[in-house]
Structure 1
């Protein structure tokens, strides 16, 4: 892996943090043809994950999970970058000099962040990260957590906490589950930027496309997946993550049981019949 460019401390320190998007909303939602796009909307802050933004992300993901009209979720960022990680100014201001109060605040931040990441993993709909600009620290964690990722050829990725004395320990959890251990360790230990093409080679993203085609290519992928049975997608996503944590024997036993249940679903019966009859299936989500 060749890492290029250092994510310097001034980039953390100089960005404005408390500016929201022009609508005043921290998170924008757009629903179209079974695809819901959630756009983090703190462009001047590079969509830094403040407590308020993380709360809205978690709440909206729960709503989306219960919405049967939603088949696929796309996670995006407004402005010049996808997400620059946690809101460091908010975190440094916590406690007002009281270390006990600061500790309680920081515990809440990382608990809240973990809750968002788990909500993405447990959401019964595929989640696609649409990445442009930078995705660093907890922003890189978001990309690694999403089921799929499409990146602009100008996107860059890093876990740069080590540059400011703060090891990216929570981003490490998602990163080590998305890329190989040595590649993850190099990103974590150096804090250097990884290009979009390097990120694809590592397995952090699925596709790299020209910047001007990012919206079109992400939408095409989302629509393709949304055309499948929503029940099958939900079954498959849950099974994928559960079997990944099992040993080989247990994984096959579990997957066999899942396949058996899946075969008895109406959508599986319809899909097989449609294939044999050479026609398009009509999914019921059952």
Structure 2
């Protein structure tokens, strides 16, 4: 099933995989206020969709996402109220990606810059085609990529992040993989095959277990070591008592495929 949101975002669900596609290539899929609001609406709906096990975030055209719409920003250059609302809305969307119960895979073809690079970094996983390029180039136009920095620094080391932020230079896909911004780099002709094979593998698991694991992953990252172990011990104990854990353990011991109830 395919749905459209204001012609800016398309959504299709098949076999437990929901593909969300930025669909404004003529503006380089830039994150205008309208695009951000459309994405927010889509992610809100997906959060409560029990049929979706995995989300793939894709884009039309030769640019994955060029960041914010600079024409829109320039038209409101004297409005602190608008600029603040724009960056707050963007921050909301990035947090929605992280807080979705379903894992999110970025399918990156073309260029991802500024808030577009932030969007890739916010996803749980990312697969890029060999020609993809990434940058946080705000410093080049006098607007430091401060909000993209939040997602970037949670994915790559400080020095690699600072190099991208301070130089504003493009890095290629192999470099993005080497510093941990993306998981895999593949030829363009196998990008979809790779992304959807990964998505199908994840979608075959218990949706309830994926939800537990994703939430715990991000929560424990911000904790001191001892607190993280205390918290995850509680998470695992509760997880072990769920229907799907009981079924999964039994299926493993009985050498059969588990019949997930997603609870």
TM-score, L = length of structure 2:
0.97
Aligned counterpart, 2:43: 61
Aligned counterpart, 2:250: 273
Aligned counterpart, 2:29: 47
1:93 and 2:72 equivalent? Answer: no
Aligned counterpart, 2:102: 125
Q: Equivalents in 2 of 1:235, 1:160: separation in Å?
A: 36
| 1:23 Cα deviation after fit | 10
Q: How many pairs are equivalent?
A: 260
Structure 2: give runs of 5+ residues left out of the alignment: none
Q: Equivalents in 2 of 1:86, 1:92: separation in Å?
A: 11
Q: Equivalents in 2 of 1:132, 1:45: separation in Å?
A: 16
Contact 2:136–2:169 (8 Å) recurs in 1: yes
| 1:81 Cα deviation after fit | 1.2
1:168 and 2:145 equivalent? Answer: yes
Contact 2:5–2:38 (8 Å) recurs in 1: no
| 1:269 Cα deviation after fit | 0.4
| 1:245 Cα deviation after fit | 0.2
Q: State the SS of the aligned residue for 2:153.
A: helix
1:158 and 2:135 equivalent? Answer: yes
Q: Deviations over 1:21-69 (max 9, x none)?
A: x997100001110000000011111100011110010111010110100
Aligned counterpart, 2:93: 116
Q: Equivalents in 2 of 1:210, 1:46: separation in Å?
A: 22
Aligned counterpart, 1:14: none
Q: Deviations over 1:100-120 (max 9, x none)?
A: xx1000000000000000101
1:77 and 2:59 equivalent? Answer: yes
Q: Equivalents in 1 of 2:241, 2:49: separation in Å?
A: 24
Higher relative contact order (CA 8 A, sep 6+): 1
Give the ranges of 4+ consecutive aligned residues of structure 1 lying more than 4 Å apart after TM superposition: none
2:173 to 178, 182, 196: 196
Q: Deviations over 1:135-173 (max 9, x none)?
A: 000000000000000000100000000111110000000
Q: Equivalents in 2 of 1:93, 1:62: separation in Å?
A: 29
Aligned counterpart, 2:230: 253
RMSD of equivalent CA atoms: 1.2
TM-score, L = length of structure 1:
0.90
Q: State the SS of the aligned residue for 2:76.
A: helix
Trace 1:193-232 onto structure 2 (pairs within 5 A). Answer: 193-232=170-209
Trace 1:26-45 onto structure 2 (pairs within 5 A). Answer: 26-45=8-27
| 1:181 Cα deviation after fit | 0.3
Contact 2:6–2:38 (8 Å) recurs in 1: no
